[in-house]
Structure 1
Amino acid sequence: MIDRYLLRYFLAVVDQGNFSRAALHCRVSQPTLSVGIAKLEAELGRALFLRTNRRVELTAAGTRFAGHARRIEAEFAEAERDVTTDIDATPLRLGIVATLPGERIEAALAAARRATATERLEVVEGPLRTLLPLLDRGRIDALLGPTGSDPRRRRILFEEGYGMALPLDHPLAGRSAIEAQEVAAEPMIVRRHCEALAETSRHFTARGVRPFMAARTTSDERALAYVRAGLGITVMPMCYAGSGVAVVPLTGFHPTRAIGVLIEDERAMRVEGSEAYRAFVAAINRSES
């Protein structure tokens, strides 16, 4: 019989990309985790990882085992919830990608709370790359954020492009579009969690624009504060317009994102039957219209 902690060690290596980060994630030492993986491989009689100095990759057997491991871990988690928590008290766990405006999330959560007095809500915030594994493992019930081409059950709420976020009193704030060269002398704010960060860098570099970086942040609320204060300007999704800034399209810059909800099929009936969830999604849609 395979112990559950070995499955968790294995999935941590898969999700974190190497043994040292996996050990930190599991709150054990790296030697302890390595011994656990070796024990798991011995029990299965197959090597699960190809180890090099730079990275760790799954073997063919490891790839096959990963799907089983995720399903087993999800069943473990579901069993724990069923045994330790009353059904009526089980919280609805919403994963919310950090690159969505706080004002919209506030309004949607308030609507969800007004919709029901009995359901509890739990919010988990982070970048998409962190939340997707949590959805896979059943740690969250639904994920709100850029859905891309994810094969899970999807409901697209709205689609949008990106533009340059400027203070409302900026000379270019009233324009319908801006050329990259027009802001070449402006200090910029780097949004480290931006899904279009690589495209943004290529867009400006291709046009010979290499601005001074006045700040780097993982917080969009902080980025907005920097813009409003006049520290610099930055590229943001169009949904941030109205947060005390103007968001003006960049000529020739065409990345888009589809914001929606992802739900695993086995949890879809419970999630979509939740009054809090339905009110939350309806409020996000209203804020877009």
Structure 2
Amino acid sequence: MELRHLKYFLAVAETRNFTQAAANCFVAQSALSQQIARLEKDVGAVLFSRTSRSVRLTAAGELLEPLARRVLADVDNAQAALDALAGLRRGRLRLGLVQTLAGSVDLVEVMADFHTRYPGVDFHVVNAPSSEMAAAVLAGGLDVAVVGLGSRQVPDGLDHRLLGSDPLVVVVPHDHDLADHDVIDLADLPESHQLIQFAEGTGLRRQVEAAFARAGVEPGRHFEVGQLYDMVQLAARGVGITVVPISSVFGAGSAAGPKGNGVGPGGARVLRLADKAAVHHVSVVYDSKRLAPAAVAFLDVVERHLKHPSV
């Protein structure tokens, strides 16, 4: 019996879902299922009752659960003491970081927490389109990347963990024909509109284009801008309209600050979309088959902040 087997067992026991448990443990679902099967062979009992609709602990599983928690707690305490004594003294973390963030995880806080825990590890941070950063992780050029991709957009061969989702909104100047609306369809936009788009290859660009496709309309004339802040400011000045995650307009460090009252910078109007699928996803992607120690430690800090945002 290995400690990782107990960790995977508890992840399934907590989530009652093999797919979610695998994501929480940063492993492929097939690998987690194999390790659970190996644990069941080691203990000589079936630990989970599985159906197409549910996963439940068997009597043997219920007996093992508190024992497994006790064992892992003792290991965590021992590891914490050793980390305090030695720590991850040196290393390098090659991190890809998307410009658009979403969800309850503050990546700045995560990076600061990681640095506090492992001050000897050097950061090498790359900002690039999500597709490029995901490809770099797959090729071994980056250890970990936070990208604007949902689960269906992550390339094959990479593991991922969804960090959050953010509704897309339309930013229009204060005198736009639709400025007095609260909710619109993209099909409501005038055919002559000019769309201020994010760079090609980014996750946000894909999600915006997918939203226009669902609406059955072409995005229209557009030009690219490399900074979300500039996109919102240009829309406010009447250069065009733009579609961005709502946190890019409202929230700490955003164009308008933490207001959220529908009025953006310069009096621009921020309109919600009726399309509930118009959402910007942010995920952390990695290759669990070749994670460096610094990357493992970083993912652990990310997981701590997901479970306890105030950490």
TM-score by length of 1: 0.53
Once the 2 structures are TM-superposed, how far is the Cα of residue 216 of structure 1 from its aligned partner? 2.3
Q: Secondary structure at the match of 2:229?
A: helix
Once the 2 structures are TM-superposed, how far is the Cα of residue 174 of structure 1 from its aligned partner? 7.8
The CA distance in 2 between the partners of 1:196 and 1:147, in whole Å, is 9
Q: Is the 8 A contact 1:191 1:217 kept in 2?
A: yes
Once the 2 structures are TM-superposed, how far is the Cα of residue 165 of structure 1 from its aligned partner? 2.7
CA shift in 2, pair 1:171/1:106, >3 Å: farther
CA shift in 2, pair 1:258/1:179, >3 Å: closer
The residue type equivalent to 1:162 in the other structure is L
The residue type equivalent to 1:225 in the other structure is Q
CA shift in 2, pair 1:272/1:139, >3 Å: closer
Q: Is the 8 A contact 1:115 1:275 kept in 2?
A: no
CA shift in 2, pair 1:147/1:179, >3 Å: closer
CA shift in 2, pair 1:276/1:156, >3 Å: closer
The CA distance in 1 between the partners of 2:116 and 2:143, in whole Å, is 20
Q: Secondary structure at the match of 1:234?
A: strand
Corresponding residue for residue 165 of structure 1: 171
Q: Is the 8 A contact 1:92 1:120 kept in 2?
A: yes
% identical equivalent positions: 17
The residue type equivalent to 1:134 in the other structure is A
Q: Deviations over 1:22-52 (max 9, x none)?
A: xxxxxxxxxxxxxxxxxxxxxxxxxxxxxxx
Q: Is the 8 A contact 2:96 2:142 kept in 1?
A: yes
Corresponding residue for residue 258 of structure 1: 281
Q: Secondary structure at the match of 1:133?
A: helix
The CA distance in 2 between the partners of 1:201 and 1:126, in whole Å, is 24
Corresponding residue for residue 198 of structure 2: 191
Q: Does 1:133 align with 2:135?
A: yes
Q: Is the 8 A contact 1:158 1:285 kept in 2?
A: no
Q: Secondary structure at the match of 1:261?
A: strand
Q: CA RMSD in A?
A: 4.0
Corresponding residue for residue 241 of structure 2: 233
The CA distance in 2 between the partners of 1:172 and 1:282, in whole Å, is 39
User: Which of 148, 151, 168 is the aligned partner of 2:151?
Assistant: 148
The residue type equivalent to 1:163 in the other structure is V
Corresponding residue for residue 231 of structure 2: 223
Once the 2 structures are TM-superposed, how far is the Cα of residue 168 of structure 1 from its aligned partner? 7.9
After superposing the two structures, state which structure 1 stretch, 264-273 or 136-145, moved more.
264-273
Q: Is the 8 A contact 2:151 2:160 kept in 1?
A: no
Q: Deviations over 1:236-268 (max 9, x none)?
A: 123324122465332246243432211211344
Q: Is the 8 A contact 1:177 1:250 kept in 2?
A: yes
The CA distance in 2 between the partners of 1:247 and 1:286, in whole Å, is 27
Tell me the matched-pair count. Answer: 197
TM-score by length of 2: 0.50
After superposing the two structures, state which structure 1 stretch, 131-140 or 183-192, moved more.
183-192
Q: Is the 8 A contact 1:179 1:251 kept in 2?
A: yes
Residues 1-289 of structure 1: pairs in structure 2 closer than 5 A: 88-100=89-101, 105-106=107-108, 108-145=110-147, 146-149=149-152, 150=154, 151-166=157-172, 175-180=181-186, 182-184=188-190, 186-193=193-200, 194-202=205-213, 206=216, 213=222, 215-242=223-250, 243=254, 244=256, 245=264, 247-252=270-275, 254-268=277-291, 270-271=293-294, 273-274=296-297, 278=301, 282=305, 286=309
Q: Is the 8 A contact 1:113 1:276 kept in 2?
A: no
Q: Is the 8 A contact 1:105 1:284 kept in 2?
A: no
Once the 2 structures are TM-superposed, how far is the Cα of residue 129 of structure 1 from its aligned partner? 2.1
CA shift in 2, pair 1:283/1:229, >3 Å: farther
Q: Is the 8 A contact 1:272 1:278 kept in 2?
A: no
Q: Secondary structure at the match of 2:161?
A: strand
Q: Is the 8 A contact 2:172 2:236 kept in 1?
A: yes
Q: Is the 8 A contact 1:93 1:141 kept in 2?
A: yes
The CA distance in 1 between the partners of 2:178 and 2:307, in whole Å, is 29
The CA distance in 1 between the partners of 2:134 and 2:230, in whole Å, is 24
CA shift in 2, pair 1:127/1:224, >3 Å: same
The residue type equivalent to 1:180 in the other structure is L
Q: Which runs of 5+ in 2 are unaligned?
A: 1-87, 257-263
Once the 2 structures are TM-superposed, how far is the Cα of residue 144 of structure 1 from its aligned partner? 0.8
Q: Secondary structure at the match of 1:139?
A: coil
